[in-house]
Amino acid sequence: METEPVRISEALRALGAAVQSSGVSGAVWFKESSPRNLRSRDFLVPSGALRKSFPDGEVPQDLVNKLMSLNSPGMPCIHNCLQNDAGLIIQLDRPAVFQRVLTDISPYLKPVPLDLCSEHGTVILNCTPLHSCKSLNELKLSHLRAALVADHLTEVLRLRGVRVHLIPEVHSQEIKSFLHQLRIFWPSVSDIPSFRETISAFKTSLKESVHTDYKDTDHSEDTEQILFNMHLKSFVEEQNLAQQGYDPNLDAFLVNEEDLEQLAWVHKCVQETHEEAANCTILHVVSCEEEFHQQKLDLLWRILDPSAEGITQKHLICGQVKVLNPSSPISCSQYFHIRKSQMQEASVMKYGESVQGNRWDEIITCLASAAVKFEMMSTAHRSQVTLDLEDSSITTKGTKSGAFVMYNCARLATMFESYTSAVQKGLYPEFPRAAELNYSTLKEEGEWLLLFNYIMPFPEVLAQSATISLASPGIRVTANTEAEPLPHLFGVMFPRLQLMRAIQSVLHSALSTLHILPLNQI
């Protein structure tokens, strides 16, 4: 059991089970996170809950003994358990926890293993704004936000082993190139697939549908022309879909060629994944301006395609993107260019005329990409994002900014590069094996904060990122040091370096879910 990765969730589960097995209900454990509270405890049942759970508010000694002796896979070692004014507290054996975590960091770089694949099977991820955008000028900021969310979801779902298929394939070369600057490698095609047969079959079905007012389709090459007038309310009532979260005002739907083409993409992907589709979900990532229209398309596909009946459709809505005080509407390419120019200016101010050449252009593009992603992704996807494009909004001091994160990536890389160089010069010995280090030297408050608040919870953060309630009712879902070279200090330096190495690994793993390339230097 000592070799099992330490899990915060397992600690909370085991502590809760121990209390409940003693016949106590309503006592909930909390993980501490603030520096002040972590000075004296790691887990807590508040005193108020104890007074409700125990007649005199006193915790029996046999329960304390049971908690002290807990030993299960993933459960960290306990140093102390006692009751004080705050409540019932647990303090972990911190040197032992440092030892277990830092000896092998690899389990903390991936999601907590859950049987999520059997729950979700295959996910067809439909980034709906990409259907209607034929050129980069048509790609709005809200569309870009949806694409970033879709790209991130793809990565975290695949980390969990979920099979993900992306639609539509991008045809516009300029959109493809723009997305590549942001390291969004969305599928693309040189020629738009022909959906003539599928769309023809859809039109035949619509002509015969009781929910359709038939219109003339002789000029179907015009994608804006109205082909059919659908009445969706009767279908919603017929299928008992009113409680699924569809807008109650859904009824008239003026169907055009572009609508049928979007459904043809969905139909094609479902057919291609037929063997996997026994447990298939279609996740539509939608900008809020297009939410109402996407609900219509959802219902239209149910009417048109018999295969839709056994497939779950969910809608993940991305909120508006607002620019503060714009002199004119800001396009996606303008937004990226502004951020890149600001990163260029900031780099020149810091590093002077050396900021030139291909290497610096790569660094600045990477910084701009990180800035865009952190701005767009640091707000809950359903909420509005507000962009401040002034120069003063770019800083390396705000902990939520992309520039800050990338700057610290580079600092960590430089630190390890300096250590390696010092080893080569004979100033430092080779790094010992992680299991041989004395982790009892890690006594600083900040060291425990890094381990307990960031490294240990990271697998569960990744798991929560990939846990979309696809089986929930309704159509909507939501997706959340180096010391001086003196021999007597090596015993302190090496454990700290190992901690920093773990932080660097976790940071790189987190950035990879956003397809952000960590910088080695700035």
| pLDDT tens digits, 110-152 | 888 765 444 557 899 999 999 989 999 999 999 999 999 999 9
pLDDT value for 486: 40
Residues 127 and 41 in one domain: no
pLDDT value for 98: 96
Backbone phi and psi for residue 509, each to the nearest 5 degrees, phi listed first = -65, -40
- How many domains are there within the chain? 2
Residues in the chain: 522
Q: Look at 17-21, 272-276, 390-394, 508-512 and tell me which has the smallest mean pLDDT.
A: 390-394
Tell me what the mean pLDDT of segment 339-365 comes to. Answer: 87
Domain annotation covers residue 448: no
Task: Compare 281 and 26 and report the one with higher pLDDT.
Answer: 281
pLDDT-derived band at 391, boundaries 50, 70, 90: low
Quick one: tokens of 463? 């798991």
pLDDT value for 481: 31
Residues 81 and 197 in one domain: no
**pLDDT tens for residues 409-434?**
888 888 999 989 998 999 888 989 99
3-state SS, residue 494: helix
Tell me what the mean pLDDT of segment 274-295 comes to. Answer: 86
pLDDT-derived band at 488, boundaries 50, 70, 90: very low
Instruction: Write the DSSP symbol of residue 475.
Output: S
Looking at the predicted structure, is the pLDDT value of residue 21 above 80? yes
pLDDT-derived band at 368, boundaries 50, 70, 90: very high
Looking at the predicted structure, is the pLDDT value of residue 165 above 60? yes
Nearest to 456 by CA among 7, 1, 3, 2: 7
pLDDT-derived band at 402, boundaries 50, 70, 90: confident
Residues 125 and 255 in one domain: yes
Residues 33 and 121 in one domain: no
Residues 66 and 142 in one domain: no
Backbone phi and psi for residue 219, each to the nearest 5 degrees, phi listed first = -110, 50
Domain annotation covers residue 474: no
Question: Under a CB-based contact definition with an 8 Å cutoff, are residues 228 and 213 in contact?
Answer: yes
pLDDT value for 469: 61
Tell me what the mean pLDDT of segment 483-489 comes to. Answer: 41
Classify each residue of 374-411 as buried b or exposed e, where b means 16 or more C-beta atoms within 10 Å of its C-beta.
bbbbebebeeebebebeeeebebeeeebbbbbbbbbbe
Tell me what the mean pLDDT of segment 303-329 comes to. Answer: 87
Domain annotation covers residue 212: yes
Residue 500 and residue 508: Cα distance in Å, rounded? Answer: 12
Looking at the predicted structure, is the pLDDT value of residue 485 above 50? no
- The residue segments making up the domain with residue 38 are 8-92
Counting residues of the chain whose pLDDT is more than 90, the rounded percentage is: 48
Looking at the predicted structure, is the pLDDT value of residue 489 above 50? no
CATH number at residue 316: 3.40.50.620
pLDDT value for 117: 43
Q: Which amino acid is at 244?
A: Q
Nearest to 486 by CA among 432, 427, 414: 427
Tell me what the mean pLDDT of segment 69-90 comes to. Answer: 93
Domain annotation covers residue 384: no
Owner of token pair 């099979």 = 163
Nearest to 92 by CA among 144, 15, 177, 182: 15
Looking at the predicted structure, is the pLDDT value of residue 360 above 80? yes
Tell me what the mean pLDDT of segment 18-43 comes to. Answer: 89
pLDDT-derived band at 56, boundaries 50, 70, 90: confident
Looking at the predicted structure, is the pLDDT value of residue 216 above 80? no
Instruction: Say how many C-beta atoms besides its own lie within 10 A of residue 66's C-beta.
Output: 15
Question: Of the residues 323, 343, 378, which one is the last residue of a structural domain?
Answer: 323
**pLDDT tens for residues 186-205?**
999 888 888 899 999 999 99
Quick one: tokens of 474? 């309704």
Task: Compare 492 and 71 and report the one with higher pLDDT.
Answer: 71
Residue 512 and residue 507: Cα distance in Å, rounded? Answer: 9
Tell me what the mean pLDDT of segment 241-250 comes to. Answer: 85
Domain annotation covers residue 39: yes
Residues 79 and 166 in one domain: no
| N-to-C CA span, the chain | 43
Cα torsion 93, 96, 98, 102 to 10°: value is -160
Residues 288 and 223 in one domain: yes
Residues 120 and 75 in one domain: no
Question: Of the residues 92, 125, 147, which one is the last residue of a structural domain?
Answer: 92
Question: Of the residues 323, 357, 379, which one is the last residue of a structural domain?
Answer: 323
Residues 152 and 224 in one domain: yes
pLDDT value for 399: 46
Tell me what the mean pLDDT of segment 278-306 comes to. Answer: 90
Residues 139 and 258 in one domain: yes
Instruction: Write the DSSP symbol of residue 276.
Output: T
Tell me what the mean pLDDT of segment 158-164 comes to. Answer: 87
Domain annotation covers residue 309: yes
pLDDT-derived band at 408, boundaries 50, 70, 90: confident
Looking at the predicted structure, is the pLDDT value of residue 339 above 50? yes
Cβ contacts of 310 within 8 Å, gap of 6 or more: none
Question: Under a CB-based contact definition with an 8 Å cutoff, are residues 130 and 147 in contact?
Answer: yes
pLDDT value for 259: 94
Residues 81 and 132 in one domain: no
pLDDT-derived band at 272, boundaries 50, 70, 90: confident
Nearest to 522 by CA among 407, 418, 362: 407
Q: Look at 136-140, 155-159, 381-385, 388-392 and tell me which has the smallest mean pLDDT.
A: 388-392
3-state SS, residue 231: strand
Domain annotation covers residue 35: yes
Residues 27 and 77 in one domain: yes
Long-range contacts of 290-294 (CB under 8 A, 24+ apart): 290/128, 290/129, 291/315, 291/317, 292/247, 292/250, 294/128
Domain annotation covers residue 347: no
- In this structure, the strands spanning 280-287 and 122-127 are parallel
Q: Look at 28-42, 298-312, 313-327, 376-390 and tell me which has the smallest mean pLDDT.
A: 298-312
pLDDT value for 218: 53
Task: Give CA separation, 239 vs 233, 300, 379, in Å.
Answer: 10, 13, 36
Q: Look at 235-244, 283-292, 446-455 and tell me which has the smallest mean pLDDT.
A: 235-244
**pLDDT tens for residues 438-469?**
999 999 999 999 999 999 999 888 887 766 66
pLDDT-derived band at 483, boundaries 50, 70, 90: very low
Looking at the predicted structure, is the pLDDT value of residue 508 above 50? yes
Residue 160 and residue 123: Cα distance in Å, rounded? Answer: 12
The mean predicted confidence, pLDDT, of the chain is 86
